[in-house]
Chain A
Amino acid sequence: MRLADTFALAWGTLAQQPRRTALIGLAMSIGVGAVVVLTALGEGARGYVLEQFASIGTNLIIVIPGRAETTGAAPGVLSGETTRDLTLEDADAVARIAWVAAVAPLNVGAAQITRGSLGREAVLLGSTAPLLSIRHMHLGLGHFLPPGPSDQATPVCVLGDKIRAELFGNANPLGGWVRIGDRRFRVIGTLAAQGQQMGFNTDEAVVIPVAAAQQLFNTPSLFRILIEARGRAAVPRVKAETLALLKLRHEGEEDVTVITQDAVLATFDRILTALTLAVGGIAAISLGVAGVLIMNVMLVSVAQRRAEIGLLKALGASAHNVRALFLVEAGLIATLGAAGGVALGLAASFVLGRVYPQLPIVPPLWAVAAAVATAILAGLLFAWLPARRAARLDAALSLTRR
C-alpha cells in the first residue's frame, strides 16, 4: 500500500467526522499551547533577569571587603576575624593588573543635597571617571568626573536625572553650585534618565569624586571596587590575580571577597532555566492527557468500524496495513492539534508580551519543537493499542457480526 494512499484513506476517515477530529485536535492544541506559553513566560523571566544583570556592566568583577568564614574553629587560634579596609591604593594597585580594562572604586552613602532653598536626600556615589563606562551609565549633559589621580577631591558632581529635574527644573544645571553635606560642589554634568537597574536607580543618585566622598563620610575605606576585565575569557584570571594581589597587600590575609558577574549570572540562569523546564514539564502532562483521549476515541472508533476493518482485510489488507491506517489517523490528529497549539501559544505569547512589555516573551524554539514532537509521539504511542487491536481483529467475525 502506498504511503500517500494510507494518508488519503486516514484523512478521509477524519474528514468524515469533523467534530470528533476537531475536539481531539483541540485537546492536543491546548496541551501544546500551554507548553509554548509557559516556557515563553519562563524564558521571558530569564531573559529579563539576564538583561538586568547585563545592564550593570559586562565582564564585571566586584571586590567586597571582608570575608565570610568561620573563625576560631581551630584550637589555639584566639584572634577573631580581622577585616582590613579596602583602600584607594588597593584600587590603584588592582588597576595595574594585566587584562584589566578599567577599575572604579566605589563609596556609597546617603546625603542631603541642597540648592538654595531646595533640598532632598540623595544617594551619593563616590567614584572615578571609569565608573561611567563600567556601569554602563549614560551621560545627559556636560562631562562625567574628570580623569586624574583618584585621591584628588575635586569639588565637582554629576547629577542623576531626577535630582537635576528637582533641583534645577528647566534651568541649565551645568556650572551651577549645589551643597552636599557641608561642602559645595559644582555641577559638571548630568546622567541620562535610565530608570531602575537591578534595584538601583541612578536617576536619584549623585556622583562625586571618590576622594571627596571619603572626606564627606570621613572614612578611609571603600565600599566596593568594580573591575572590568578585557573580555570574558580574562575574567577568571583577573579574579585570581586580584585576590592574590590584595592578599599580598593585606599582609597575607585573604580578607576580601571577589565575585564575578558571570558566576551570579550563571546561577540565576540555572535556576530560571530549571524553572522553565519544570513549568513546561507540568504543561506537558496535559499532552499525556490528550494522548489518553486519543486512545479512548480510537478504541471506540475501532469498535465502530469492525465491519470496515474486516472488509479491508478481506480485500487483502494485511495487519500491518490496518495498523498503519490507524496510526496515521492518530498521527494526523496529533499533528493538526500540535499545529493549532503552536498557533495558540504564539498568539497567547504575543498578547502576554503586550500586557508585560518589560518581559521579553518569546517562546523558545526548543520548547516549541519539543512540544510538537511530544504531542505527535503521545498521539502515536496512545494510538498503538487501538491500532494493534484493529490489526488483530478477526476478519471473518467482524464481517459477519452486524
Chain B
Amino acid sequence: MIQLDQASRTFQVGDQQVLALREVSLSIAAGEYIAIMGPSGSGKSTLLNLLGLLDRPSGGRYSLDGRDVTGLNEAESARVRRDKIGFVFQFFHLVPRLDAAANVALPLVLAGIAPAERKQRVAQLLADVGLSERADHLPSQLSGGQLQRVAIARAMSMHPALLLADEPTGNLDRATGREVMGVLEGLNQRGATLIVITHDQEIGARARRRIGMEDGRVISDTAT
C-alpha cells in the first residue's frame, strides 16, 4: 500500500541544512499495524507528515495505493488526505467552539457531504467510540480520553485506508492510553492500516511491526 523510495527531507534552519530524513525506503502493506519509535529529533514526525501528505519529500518517491503521490499539487494532495488518510494527534486538535458531533463531522463538511447523511454517519462514528451521549459536549467538557476518542471518530469519518497517529497516548494517563490504543487497534482489525508514533515501549510492543529510527534513518525494522 505504501511504497517509500529513498525519501529524504531537508529543512533550512538559518543558513544550515538539516537532514531530517535520509533516504528512507519503506514498504508497508495494507492492514499492517506499525509502531515507529525513536528518540525525539530522529525524524519520526517528519516521516509521518510525508506519509500523510502534509509535507513533501525533498528527494525520493512516495506512492500510495499504487499511485505516485510525490508530485501532487496542493489541491490534489488535500483530496487524498481527505479521502484516504486519517490523522490522530498527541494534542487531539479538536476545534474548541464545535461540539463533539461537529468536530467529527468536519472532514465530511470539507468533503461536501449533505447534512442529512452527515448526521447519520456522525451518530454511527460516535457510537463506535462509545461517545453517543457526549455528542453535544464541547471539547472543554470532555476528558482527555474522550477527546482522543472524538478525534479518532473524526479521523475515521471518511473511512480512510490509512490511519496515522502521532503519539496518540502522549497526553493521556496509562489506563486511558490503553483504552485509546484499544480503539485504534479495533479499527486496524477491521482493515485500516495503522501507523503509530510512540515513545512508549509497552505500546510499541503491541504493534506487529516496529520501525526504529535515529538521525533520520531507519535503524531497525522488526516484525513479530
25 pairs from A and B in contact (CB 8 Å cutoff) = A1-B110, A9-B109, A13-B97, A308-B93, A310-B93, A311-B95, A313-B81, A314-B52, A314-B81, A315-B82, A315-B87, A315-B106, A315-B110, A316-B79, A316-B82, A316-B107, A316-B111, A317-B78, A317-B110, A318-B78, A318-B79, A321-B110, A394-B55, A396-B45, A400-B45
Q: Tell me the smallest distance from the CB of A197 to a CB of chain B, in Å.
A: 64
Which one of A1, A5, A312, A319 contacts B75 once the chains associate, using CB atoms below 8 Å?
Answer: A319
B109 near A399 with CB under 8 A, answer: no
Given A1-B110, A2-B112: A402 in contact with B91 (beta carbons within 8 A):
yes
Count B interface residues, CB 8 Å: 27
Bound CA span A244–B93, Å: 89
Which one of A5, A12, A399 contacts B89 once the chains associate, using CB atoms below 8 Å?
Answer: A399
Q: Which of B68-94 contact A (CB under 8 A)?
A: 74-75, 78-79, 81-83, 87, 89, 91, 93
Q: Check B49 for interface membership: any CB of A closer than 8 A.
A: yes
Q: Check A320 for interface membership: any CB of B closer than 8 A.
A: yes
Bound CA span A71–B97, Å: 84
Residue of A nearest to B82 (CB): A316
Chain B residues lying within 8 Å of A117, measured Cβ to Cβ, are none
A399 near B54 with CB under 8 A, answer: yes
Count A interface residues, CB 8 Å: 27
Bound CA span A9–B112, Å: 13
Which one of A307, A319, A396 contacts B54 once the chains associate, using CB atoms below 8 Å?
Answer: A396
B97 near A16 with CB under 8 A, answer: yes
Bound CA span A304–B110, Å: 21
Bound CA span A402–B45, Å: 15
- Contacts A315-B87, A316-B79 aside, 8 further interface pairs with beta carbons under 8 A come to A311-B93, A312-B110, A313-B81, A316-B111, A317-B110, A318-B78, A321-B78, A399-B93
Bound CA span A289–B98, Å: 33
Q: Tell me the smallest distance from the CB of B136 to a CB of chain A, in Å.
A: 15
Bound CA span A261–B163, Å: 83
Chain B residues lying within 8 Å of A16, measured Cβ to Cβ, are 97
Q: Check A101 for interface membership: any CB of B closer than 8 A.
A: no
Which one of A316, A318, A395 contacts B83 once the chains associate, using CB atoms below 8 Å?
Answer: A316
Bound CA span A318–B72, Å: 12
B78 near A1 with CB under 8 A, answer: no
